Amino acid sequence: MSVSIGVTAVISAFNPPADLVAKVERLLKQVDHVVVVDDGSPKDVSEVLAGLESAGALVLRQESNMGIAAALNAGIAAARRFSPEWYLTLDQDSELDPDYVERALQAAEAAKRAAVPVGMVCAESHNRLPVMLQKPGEDFPEAFDPMQSGTLIPASTLEAVGMLEDDLFIDCVDSEYTARIRQHGLKAIIAPGCNITHAVGDARPMRLGTWHVTVGGQKRFVHSHAPFRVYYITRNGIVMYRRYATKQPVWVLRRIGLEVVFYGVRVVYGPHRLRQIAAIGLGIRDALTGRMGKISPAGSKLVTPRR
């Protein structure tokens, strides 16, 4: 970009697809710099990484898979050489609308003028669907539980609150950070008009017997997680709830209520039901015993479907 706007994007990548190069080229029209962290991809992605460097990205290669929190932290640390005022965190399967960053910065500036303590700026919608709000009707509404991808974080927030929590590995990394900035009196505001397109994975029909569940004239589908993801969601969720239950009880109870519904859908309608249940049980055990980081080899074997 010809004019610096003080924004550096950090992307966590794992077996990055070839189209990430084009995404980065488009992203560089909105930000000053892009840092891509390859999180120990087991596949040979050297051609993609070389393409990213040719596109103008700073590429870091981690020797092993350390998890999304560690990857983003490494990218943020490397991005400090550019002295950005803002860090934009992204997943490799996300893409911003062309005016996303401009709108986000405008929202941040408006909030600053209104003396709103901005801890981060988040998308108003994902795939054109509005995000859930903490409290609708406010002049500067807060996102209830924003996804880290598409989040614009001021350098001042990272200085005051700290980095993402490596021990969570994946899942709930963004939720924990949102809860943490609120403990510091900061807000996760949404930026009007900011939409991010994000891959939602494979969908399975929601069925009761042979009937494809239909609500409001629309057939419903289930977007399920692999059992190893359910392990992290369970373990990290419990750890987070115990940490913030007395500090942010309404948010915790509301989030637990939503998760109970999601668990029911996963177990009833999702694939690999027995392994989903095993993942939940293992996640509960490890949360209660304090085992964090990457899932153990034995645990991974237990929850990984046979091919």
Model confidence pLDDT, tens digit, residues 46-60? 999 999 999 999 999
Same domain, 184 and 223: no
Same domain, 165 and 215: no
Residues of the chain with pLDDT under 70: 1-3, 200-224, 307
pLDDT at 268: 73
CATH of the domain at 120: 3.90.550.10
Does residue 231 sit within a domain? yes
Same domain, 260 and 139: no
Same domain, 120 and 211: no
pLDDT at 84: 98
Who's near 177: CB < 8 A, 6+ residues apart? 148, 161, 164, 165
Same domain, 135 and 57: yes
Does residue 2 sit within a domain? no
pLDDT at 215: 53
Is the pTM for the entire model greater than 0.95? no
pLDDT at 266: 73
- By residue count, the chain amounts to 307
Who's near 114: CB < 8 A, 6+ residues apart? 139, 140
pLDDT at 209: 60
Does residue 1 sit within a domain? no
**Among 167, 183, 198, which residue terminates a domain?**
198
Residues 239-277 as b/e (b if ≥16 CB within 10 A, e otherwise) read bbbeebeeebeebbeebeeeeeebbeebeebbebeebbb
Same domain, 39 and 158: yes
Same domain, 215 and 188: no
Same domain, 291 and 181: no
pLDDT at 220: 53
Does residue 194 sit within a domain? yes
- Structural domain range at position 137: 7-198
